[in-house]
Amino acid sequence: MFTFGSPEDTATLLIADQGRTGPGLPKGPMNEHLEKDLKVDLTYIKMAYHDAVRQGLDEEVLIEIEKRFDDVYKKLLTVSATFEDFVINGRHGFLTGRTESQKKKYFAMIKDNKEASD
C-alpha cells in the first residue's frame, strides 16, 4: 500500500489515531512519562502496529512502529519494579505475539537492562 510521507510520519499518525480512543496518549515527551503512562504508550503503539498490518502498510512503517515500542519497553524496564516479572511470567504480551523470536528479543532486553543497572 502507498503511504504519504515518511515512515516516521506515518507511524506518528497511526499512533496518534489510536490515542483518540480510551484515556488518550499521555502528554509530554516519553522520557518524562511515569510507569502508568509508559504502559498506556505500549498499548497504543501495539494497536497502531496491528492497524498498520491490517492496512498492509509498508515494512518501513512497521519497523518504525516496532522501534518506538522497543524504546518504550526499554524505558519501562528501567522505571518499573514489576514489569520484568510480568514479562517473564507471561502476563505481558510482545508486539507481534509470544513467539519464540519475540520472547528471545524481549528477554534479551531484560538481560541488557540488568547488566546496565549492575
Digit-coded pLDDT (tens) for 61-111: 999 999 999 999 999 999 998 999 989 888 888 898 888 999 999 999 999
Structural domain boundaries of the chain?
7-117
Digit-coded pLDDT (tens) for 7-62: 999 999 999 999 999 899 999 988 899 999 999 999 999 999 999 999 999 999 99
- CA–CA distance, 89 with 58 (Å, rounded to integer): 33
Output the pTM of the full model.
0.90
Q: Please name the residue ranges forming H helices in the chain.
A: 7-18, 35-55, 59-79, 83-88, 100-117
